[in-house]
Amino acid sequence: MINKRLLVKSLLAHNDENSFYDKKLRLNIGQKEGKAKFLKHICALSNSNPKNNSYIVVGIKDEENEIVGVDFFDDAKLQNLINAYLENPPIVAYENIHFPHLPEGKVVGLVTIQPTEKLTALRKNIWKYYGGSVFFREGSISKSQVFDIEIKDTNSEVVADIENHARNNIELTLDGVVDFVQRHHSGLHTNYKVFKETFVVCWAGMEKRVKDRLYYSRVDVELINEQVKLFYSAYDEVEIVYDDHSFGLVEYVRLGLNDSYKYYPLEQVNLLFDNNGTYQIQTDFLFKPPKFDKKNLHHVYNNQKALLLKLNQKAKLTPSQTKEAESLAATLMLCYLNGFEEAKTLIFNAQDAMKGLNEKAHQNHKDTLRILRKIKYH
């Protein structure tokens, strides 16, 4: 089993990107240009590594090789994007890797591209790249190639050596458990469970019992063996269930209007552990948008548009307006889910205003975009 934090460090020790890994400050797959460049790199790394895994490390300042981190990213449907745009698409996984020095909520993203031993090409046009284009790595650059197209194994030995040096051991696992507990001592309940005498899952959160059911907020869940952060949320409620063979959680999102809120199930994630030292992740989307009276919602929608206009004009807000603005993105999402199509555009346009208002507004805006992304994929 590979310790992913050690793997990232080993990759970064090869200071310059090369034909088996790339590093990025962030991914911008929400924008057409960023999505196209990401697909280009996936295509090039896949074609240049037909016999071994290749990687993209996210959250790295390129010039200094400094680990600065990115927000937790839980896009379980990234593979859908790969399949839609690439012929002979590789299997791609995105994992969130904990590094102790990073601020709370920040991780390093690790994209793993598994080998296909087939030629990968763009299936259709995107941005300035044409369907049928083939990309390879030339040093640290992903370049289009037209002539002498041939996939060759040039990196399998060096990548195997890097992965072998990143193998986990009992000392690293115990250190990981101790580190997790020490990081989550301020009012948070911490727990762990060993599965199949191999896998160690740790979780922490603030407990809240409702009737006979236990919920957590401020939740952090990690697979210690691999140093992979499986789930993180500063606000949402989570229900955790487990037995000897599996670990599962159901995430709930708090939504509502006019100070009347309810929790709605968003997604269920299950880790299924096998006896052969492997595991699988299953994800089920549970969200059913709440419905509201259209007449009342029209009034709410107009108020949100007026509030966003004030924010964009940098007008001074009253304390009650500031409180309302902190949940502006979520309120606009409810409008969008009830037929107000333009509300989605307003959410994206509100990014700078939310970031400039305060941290709670900024975090709520990011959470809203995450929910919209999940809804789009499902």
Q: Alpha carbon of 336 to those of 148, 324, 368, 370: distances in Å?
A: 50, 18, 12, 15
Report the b/e string of 10-44 with b at 16+ CB within 10 A: bbbeeeebbbbbbbbeebebeeeeebbbbbbbbbb
The letter for the amino acid at 35 is: K
Same domain, residue pair 280 and 200: yes
Q: Which helix (H) or strand (E) holds 26?
A: none
At 256, the pLDDT band (50, 70, 90 cuts) reads very high
pLDDT in tens, 11-26: 998 866 689 999 999 9
In this structure, the answer to whether residues 158 and 176 fall within a common structural domain is: no
CB 305: neighbour CB atoms within 10 A?
16
Rounded CA gap, 243 and 216, in Å? 18
Instruction: Mark whether 54 and 190 lie in a shared domain.
Output: no
Q: How confident is the model at residue 259 (pLDDT cuts 50, 70, 90)?
A: confident
Q: Looking at the structure, do residues 251 and 327 belong to the same domain, yes or no?
A: no
pLDDT 10s digits, 209-226: 887 888 999 899 999 999
Residues 31 and 147 in one domain: yes
Q: Are residues 40 and 144 in the same domain?
A: yes
Mean pLDDT confidence for 322-351: 96
Token digits of residue 325: 């603005």
Q: What angle do CA 255, 213, 238 make, to 5 degrees?
A: 45
Mean pLDDT of the chain: 93
Q: What is the CA radius of gyration of the chain?
A: 22
Q: Which of 136, 165, 194 is the last residue of a domain?
A: 165
Q: Is the pTM of this model over 0.85?
A: yes
Domain count, the chain: 3
Mean pLDDT of the region 37-47: 97
Q: What are φ and ψ of residue 96, in 5° steps?
A: -100, 115
Q: Among 252, 285, 318, identify where a domain stops.
A: 285
81, 177: one domain: no
What per-residue confidence (pLDDT) applies to 64? 84
pLDDT for residue 111: 97
Long-range contacts of 139-142 (CB under 8 A, 24+ apart): 139/16, 139/17, 139/18, 139/19, 140/16, 140/17, 140/18, 140/22, 142/22, 142/40, 142/41, 142/43, 142/44, 142/45
Q: What is the pLDDT of residue 185?
A: 75
Residue 130 and residue 277 in one domain: no
The answer on 70 and 106 residing in a single domain is: yes
Q: What is the pLDDT of residue 31?
A: 87
Residues 226 and 137 in one domain: no
pLDDT recorded at residue 76: 63
CA distance 205 to 185: 10
- Considering the domain architecture, whether residues 359 and 334 belong to the same structural domain is answered as yes
Last residue of a domain, one of 165, 197, 222: 165
Least confident interval from 184-188, 218-222, 372-376:
184-188
The whole-number average pLDDT for the span 258-271 is 92
Specify the pairing of strand 21-24 against strand 54-58: parallel
265: β partners: 252
Residue with tokens 């964009």: 312
Exposure of 135 in the CB half-sphere (CA atoms within 13 A)? 26
155: CATH: 3.30.950.30
Domain encompassing residue 177: 170-285
Q: Which residues 6+ apart lie within 8 Å of 37 measured at CB?
A: 127
Select from 245, 247, 236, 237 the least CA-distant residue to 269.
247
**pLDDT (tens digit per residue) in 217-253:** 989 999 999 999 999 987 779 999 999 999 999 999 9
- Do 252 and 119 lie in a common domain? no
Residue 86 CA to residue 129 CA, distance in Å, equals: 12
Neighbours of 140 (CB within 10 A): 13
Query: For residues 309 and 302, what is the distance between their CA atoms, to the nearest angstrom?
Result: 11
Q: Rounded to an integer, what is the distance from CA 347 to the centroid of its chain?
A: 20
